[in-house]
Structure 1
Amino acid sequence: MTNDPCQREQAAAGLEQLASLVRAHSWRSEGLPALPPTQAAVLRMLAGADNGLRAQQIAARLDVSPASLSDTLKTLQAKGWIARRTDAGDRRASIVHLSKQGRALAARLKHPARGMAALLQGLDAADVGALLRVAQLLVGKAQQQGMATGLRTCLGCRFFRPFASGDAAQPHVCGFLGTPFGDAELRADCADQSPADAPLRAANRERFQLRAPP
């Protein structure tokens, strides 16, 4: 583990530059309406939820306040991109889902030639795997410091078994699927994720940070 302040400063600068790119691109993506980052994130999230999501689930995953999300949902609904239906399990709550127009827009937002996905074109599997590995560690650190909640990463999942397969090419195991996999198959947002408790997250994070199987 490096303790070089200059190296960490440069890494932090790179992250800040990428964050600025994300914010700027969400407002001025060619051929798409100008969207604040939170609105774009809600549309992408709902695109991966066939049965819709409760507002509280969306707020938790985005780590925004219910009041802030309420304003976002009102705007999206006014534009005709989302709709709400009564939750059959709780008549006091509603399920948010994409409208036909919203689904078409979300598909364009998620296109691999747009947004941050476009920056990954041309990277080989090893580089993508390295990025996914670092993303897992950074999200885990953010959760550890109370900066993020509700994110559905492998490292935060109770089914994740880092360096448990004995196979150097596919060192990790997904207990949900019962299959080994490598860094290039790590998930930053997995629909089947089941949050691990704090002790398991800490143990997995410590094991995952190793450069080689223990």
Structure 2
Amino acid sequence: MSGHSKWATIKRQKGANDQKRGQLFTKLGREIAVAVRAGGPDPEANFRLRLAIQKARAENMPKDNIDRAIERASGAGNTDNFDEVSYEGYGPGGVAVVIQALTDNRNRTVGEVRSALTRAGGSLGESGSVAWMFDNVGLISVEADGQDPEEIALVAIDAGAEDVSIDDDGIEVYTEVQNLHVVQDALVSAGINVNSADPVMKPKATV
């Protein structure tokens, strides 16, 4: 009986993990599709698509899934209609937040975002209410283990990076968004292991 119970528990856990994995792959597929519609299906010419593919690979999304997402988004029969949306507001303690999402129903999503913020003790703000508190920048994350932080900083700055932050958790390289791929390529060409590269909203001040 205990063996059966153990198997049932493992089966439930596997089912839950598979569901989370499926939801993650769906989200990554949508990001790929939006990137394709914005800049075309060639990752060499579409840096945003290249970033989306890199993120999908980092999460072990199968190549077939990635290829299907690209084909579906670039095909004439594509009916997916996801929009990029951005919401501004305040979280617990009055902390400014910017929430970015993909949605096929703007009205539903704004209601869900408002509800989530309210439950957390925050509120949804007007467009422009907090965006001025952030800079839109490129962020490249690099593992510090086994790599020379000074060399990484020099390579990044020579390639056009704006700032480099080094601590025990790793190395963060900040760039202008339009230079993100240039700096990333320079780091990779120098044999430096890059964990991720993404455009982000960086707060001008932290508490």
Q: Same fold (TM over 0.5)?
A: no
Instruction: With the length of structure 1 as denominator, give the TM-score of the two structures.
Output: 0.33
> Whose Rg is larger?
2
Q: Higher strand proportion, which one?
A: 2
Instruction: With the length of structure 2 as denominator, give the TM-score of the two structures.
Output: 0.34
